[in-house]
């Protein structure tokens, strides 16, 4: 394969073609997803058809940049299975050559001869990033030097700008920023193509960033010297190829046992003389010897009881064609040591058990499902007769099949759960708009009204900003709307932080979050601590609805309310840390 020099003397360079895309007045725009899986006009292929473009950096660049560029071939190979060539060019002589064809060029403005040469020849415009703090630019250019048809350029305004730009490309191709720390494997992509245009992250909004490490000893206290200095760490040498050797030394049980470990145990791990002690066994382990017999027990999805010991007949949570929870199941288990045969017989042909008969050694899980094309409309209770080891147990399956055509998010199992960002309609008004904030919610994106300097809105009018969510409830009766909000402080004088909720054309109910929860950010009381540690503030309003379709409206009252999720409880909501999964919708 022929090679061409990338650092040729300027006199030998042909006039450069203009850049692939002209800069915008405000510089490179942040475009989510600038690396796609298909070729197209103007797109650059970092990897395509089993080949990868060479990656080029100058050794005259910052040492940190040269180090980070060394990660790019690893990341491309992790995603595509193809490893690109890495060429580190001699910044003095320029004699190092790379394969002819498309290349990826990485460098820092004012430090890399590669980047500065492109700028001098008019091939690359860096005016929108030069001199800025930690800012990067990604752009496809044509004819950067003779013999090279195209180049994908990653340029930074300073050392960290280039580093962030390189790692942003890794993130775009599918490598998690937590790849190393959390051992997150990327999804395979056979093709990688960069969209034409100018892409960038912009200048960081926060100039100085950092993170704090808690409970650093013994895990980090032993692990860090092993990787970065003298020392040997105990622990498992096998996990992840030994990378986390020393991280299995943190006790998990025993904190707070002052009588055993001394006065620091109220906040510190069990330790003596600065060294962690092994886990205490709590509660004490007790061996249970099973009888030499066959004895059937039955447990169902939901309760913590088992039958026939609990008495009566167990019932599965209701089935619905709109449920978003995992499928329903029945566990048949052996309370002895001798295996036994079992049989499970549903009382309707449209109710199916995946393993209707078999042998139980320890435990067998039976998945139960409904054939909705054959199930009758309305509410039906179907028995499932289970027999084994001479013991019968009847499990009741409650099946709820809609009598009316639903609209929007549909109630199942006694609730409707909606991620706020999935509103049916996002309504702006009176100078206030909504902004979607990715991943801010505990289970999804969050929504916040902007600008945050907008005045409070009271009384509310139909022209005001709101989120509208279409939904359907199955029956008449009272409902409770739980608003899952991000914990925020009130920023305006007067009452605490407020929002409002209404259904259809009913008057909105205003909720003062501060008054409703008792959370006080000025004293950082217990409720405030709980809200911030859970990253949620839950408040409720009561309403009454008729069966059928409705529109739930979430209104802006104060500007800094951030809503994550809305849950309508019609009587079946069960307590959980993150709240129920989002309901299925009919739109």
What is the SS3 string spanning 281-297?
CCCCCCCCCCCCCCCEE
Q: Which of 106, 81, 101, 85 is nearest to 174 (CA)?
A: 81
User: What is the number of H-type helices and E-type strands within the chain?
Assistant: 9, 35
The domain that holds 453 is classified in CATH as: 2.60.120.1620
Residues 394 and 502 placed together within one structural domain of the fold: no
- Is residue 241, in this structure, part of any structural domain at all? no
Residues 120 and 177 placed together within one structural domain of the fold: yes
- For 87, the token pair is 């060429």
Output the pLDDT for position 27: 42
* Burial environment of residue 562 by CB neighbours within 10 A (0 to 12, 13 to 18, 19 or more): buried
Contact 417, 565 (CB under 8 A): yes
Contacts of 332 (CB under 8 A, 6+ apart): 296, 297, 298, 342, 344, 360, 363, 364, 366, 386, 388
pLDDT profile of the chain (587 residues), mean per 10: 35 29 36 84 96 95 96 97 93 57 95 95 96 96 88 97 96 90 90 95 83 65 68 53 68 64 63 64 71 96 93 93 91 97 98 97 97 94 97 96 85 94 94 93 94 85 92 94 90 84 94 87 78 89 95 93 96 92 87
- Is residue 221, in this structure, part of any structural domain at all? no
* Burial environment of residue 392 by CB neighbours within 10 A (0 to 12, 13 to 18, 19 or more): exposed
Residues 413 and 397 placed together within one structural domain of the fold: no
Q: Which of 579, 537, 587, 570 is nearest to 324 (CA)?
A: 579
C-alpha distances out from residue 537 to 210, 437, 515, Å: 26, 17, 12
Residues 564 and 431 placed together within one structural domain of the fold: yes
End-to-end CA distance of the chain: 56
Residues 14 and 163 placed together within one structural domain of the fold: yes
Phi, psi of 468 (to 5 degrees): -115, 130
Residues 521 and 378 placed together within one structural domain of the fold: no
The domain that holds 178 is classified in CATH as: 3.30.379.10
Residue recorded with tokens 């340029």: 155
Counting the structural domains of the chain, the total is 4
Residues 397 and 280 placed together within one structural domain of the fold: no
Residues 449 and 303 placed together within one structural domain of the fold: no
- Is residue 212, in this structure, part of any structural domain at all? no
Residues 484 and 339 placed together within one structural domain of the fold: no
Range of the domain at 395: 296-401
The domain boundary residue, chosen from 241, 268, 286: 286
- Other beta carbons within 10 angstroms of residue 112's beta carbon come to 27
Rounded Cα gap, residues 258 and 237, in angstroms: 33
Q: Count of alpha carbons within 13 Å of 538, Cβ hemisphere only?
A: 15
- For 28, the token pair is 């490179």
The answer to pTM > 0.75 is no
- Is residue 560, in this structure, part of any structural domain at all? yes
């Amino acid at each position: 394969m022929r090679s061409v020099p990338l650092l040729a003397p300027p006199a030998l360079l042909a006039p450069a073609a203009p850049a692939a895309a002209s800069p915008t007045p405000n510089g490179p725009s942040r475009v989510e997803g600038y690396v796609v899986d298909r070729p197209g006009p103007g797109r650059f292929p970092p990897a395509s058809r089993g080949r990868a473009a060479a990656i080029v950096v100058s050794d005259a660049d910052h040492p940190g940049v040269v180090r980070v560029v060394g990660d790019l071939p690893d990341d491309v190979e992790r995603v595509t299975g193809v490893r690109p060539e890495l060429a580190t060019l001699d910044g003095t002589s320029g004699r190092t050559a790379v394969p002819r064809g498309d290349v990826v060029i990485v460098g820092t403005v004012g430090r890399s001869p590669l980047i500065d040469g492109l700028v001098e020849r008019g091939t690359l415009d860096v005016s929108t990033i030069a001199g800025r703090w930690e800012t990067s630019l990604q752009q496809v250019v044509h004819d950067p030097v003779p013999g090279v048809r195209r180049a994908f350029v990653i340029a930074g305004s300073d050392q960290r700008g280039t580093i962030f730009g390189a790692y942003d490309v890794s993130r775009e191709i599918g490598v998690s920023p937590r790849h190393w720390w959390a051992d997150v494997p990327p999804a395979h992509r056979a093709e990688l193509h960069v969209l034409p245009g100018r892409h960038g992250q912009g200048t960081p909004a926060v100039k100085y960033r950092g993170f704090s490490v808690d409970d650093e000893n013994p895990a980090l206290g032993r692990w860090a010297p092993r990787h970065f200095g003298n020392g040997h760490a105990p622990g498992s040498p096998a996990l992840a190829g030994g990378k986390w050797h020393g991280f299995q030394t943190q006790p998990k049980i025993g904190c707070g046992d002052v009588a055993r470990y001394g006065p620091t145990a109220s906040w510190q791990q069990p330790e003596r003389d600065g060294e962690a002690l092994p886990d205490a066994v709590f509660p004490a382990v007790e061996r249970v010897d099973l009888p030499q017999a066959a004895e059937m027990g039955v447990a169902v999805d939901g309760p913590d009881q088992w039958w026939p010991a609990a008495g009566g007949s167990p019932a599965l949570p209701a089935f619905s064609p709109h449920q978003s929870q995992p499928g329903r199941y029945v566990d048949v288990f052996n309370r002895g040591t001798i295996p036994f045969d079992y049989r499970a017989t549903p009382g309707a042909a449209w109710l199916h058990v995946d393993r209707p008969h078999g042998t139980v050694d320890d435990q067998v899980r039976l998945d139960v499902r409904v054939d909705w094309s054959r199930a009758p409309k309305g509410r039906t209770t179907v028995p499932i007769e289970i027999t084994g080891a001479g013991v019968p147990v009847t499990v009741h399956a409650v099946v709820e099949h809609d009598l009316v055509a639903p609209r929007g998010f549909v109630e199942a199992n006694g609730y409707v759960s909606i991620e706020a960002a999935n509103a049916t309609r996002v309504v702006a008004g009176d100078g206030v708009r909504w902004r979607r904030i990715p991943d801010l919610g505990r289970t999804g994106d969050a929504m916040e009204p902007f600008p945050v300097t907008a005045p409070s809105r009271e009384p509310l009018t139909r022209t005001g900003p709101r989120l509208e969510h279409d939904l359907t409830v199955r029956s008449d009766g009272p409902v409770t709307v739980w608003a899952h909000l991000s914990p925020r402080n009130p920023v305006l004088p007067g009452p605490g932080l407020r929002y409002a909720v209404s259904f259809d054309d009913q008057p909105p109910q205003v909720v003062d979050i501060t008054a409703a929860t008792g959370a006080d950010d000025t004293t950082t009381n217990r409720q405030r601590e709980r809200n911030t540690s859970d990253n949620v503030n839950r408040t409720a309003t009561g309403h009454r609805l008729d069966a059928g379709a409705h529109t739930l409206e979430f209104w802006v009252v104060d500007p800094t309310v951030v809503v994550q999720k809305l849950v309508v409880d019609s009587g079946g909501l069960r307590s959980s840390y993150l709240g129920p999964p989002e309901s299925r919708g009919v739109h």
